[in-house]
Amino acid sequence: MRLELSRRQFLDIAAGIAALPACSHAAWALDYPARPVRLIVGFPAGSLSDVLARPVAQWMSQRLGEQVIVDDRPGADANIATEAVVRAAPDGYTLLLVSLPNAVNASLYKSLDFDFIRDIAPVASIARSTGVMVVAPSFPAKTVPEFIAYAKANPGKINMASAGTGSFPFCAGELFKFMAGVDLVHVPYRGSYVPDLLAGRVQVSFPPLPVVIAQIRAGKLAALGVTGATSSKALPGVPTIDESLPGYEASVWNGVGAPKNTSAAIVDKLNSVVNSALADPAHEAQLADLGSAQMLMTPPEFGKFIADETARWAKVLKFAQVKPE
C-alpha cells in the first residue's frame, strides 16, 4: 500500500521535526541543574571577585536547588580561570565569575588561547563597585591634591600596590598616573597586598572598596578619594577623585558567564535566578554595605556592557602606554 502525504501534512511533520531541538533544550532547562554547579573565580580568597562570588553562589544555590560551589583559580590575571571555562562543556555546570580584568586582558595580552567576547556567553551582571584611593594614616598627603603634589616632588619613590597587571587596582592606578601626570612604581601581588599596605611597605593602592572598607572604618587605612563618578554612601565625607581630576572615573564590576554555545534556555534561567536574588532587599542591603550597587541586565545588555568596557580600557592602556604582555 502506497502512502501519500498532502503538502499540508508534509509541512506539519517538517515543522514538528524542526521544533524538536527547541523542545529538547527547553526540557533540559527544566531539568537543570541536576548536580552541583561550579562558579570559577580568577582571583584568590579575599579579593572582590571572591567576596562577591560567595553570597551570589549561596543565593543561586537556594533558588536552583543544587549547590553552587565557588572554585578560586587565581593566576595570570584571571586568564587561567577564563580558559578553564572556555574549555568546559557548554552544559551550564561550569560558570565564570566575570570581572573587569576580563575586559582589560583583551588589550593587555598579545596572544591568548581564547577570545573572551567570542568564547564566553554573558549570563547575568551582578554588581558595580567603586574603588578607593588609600594610603597608610602616616602618609604625608591627606588629600588627592596633596598626594599629587607629593608624588610630583618625589617621582618614582611611591610604590603602588595591585592584585596584578590587569586587575582593577592596576587599571584605576594607571588611569590616575596618566591623568595626574605622576610617576608611581607599580608593585603587583599574587596574593593579598593589603598586609603590606597596612605595614607601609607599599604606599598607595586603588582597591575595590569592599576589599578595604573594614580597614578604613577601623582607621587602619586613610581614604583619599573614591574612584567612582559619585560619592559612596559607605564612605560619607570622602570626595571623588573626579573633584581633583575632572573626568576621572573607574569602577569594578562583576557578573556571570558561561561557555559559548550554552543553551539559551539555561542562560535565561540563570539570568532570572541571579536577577531575582539581586532584587531581594536583603541582598541589595548586603551589597550596599560592601560599597557595591546591584546591576541587573539581560544577557544581551550585559554582553554590550562588556564590549563597551573592553573598548574603553583598551584606550586607557594605550594612552598610558602600557605594553601588551
Asked if residue 161 has pLDDT above 90, the reply is yes
pLDDT of res. 47: 78
CB contact set of 70 (below 8 Å; sequence gap of 6+)? 39, 41, 50, 53, 54, 57, 97
- Picking from 155, 237, 246, 168, the residue whose alpha carbon sits closest to that of residue 209 is 168
- Picking from 49, 225, 61, the residue whose alpha carbon sits closest to that of residue 127 is 49
pLDDT of res. 325: 62
Contact between 198 and 134 (Cβ < 8 Å): no
74-83 per-position pLDDT tens digit = 988 899 999 9
- Residues 278-291 have a mean pLDDT of 83
- Picking from 215, 194, 190, 210, the residue whose alpha carbon sits closest to that of residue 74 is 190
Asked if residue 13 has pLDDT above 50, the reply is no
Ordered structural domains, the chain, with CATH: 29-128+252-319 (3.40.190.150), 132-243 (3.40.190.10)
CB contact set of 278 (below 8 Å; sequence gap of 6+)? 126, 127, 284, 287, 294, 295, 296
Asked if residue 57 has pLDDT above 90, the reply is yes
Q: Find residue 125's DSSP bridge partners.
A: 255
78-107 per-position pLDDT tens digit = 999 999 999 999 999 999 999 998 999 998
Asked if residue 160 has pLDDT above 90, the reply is yes
Task: Identify the H or E element spanning 319.
Answer: helix 299-319
199-228 per-position pLDDT tens digit = 999 999 999 898 899 999 999 999 999 999
pLDDT of res. 1: 41
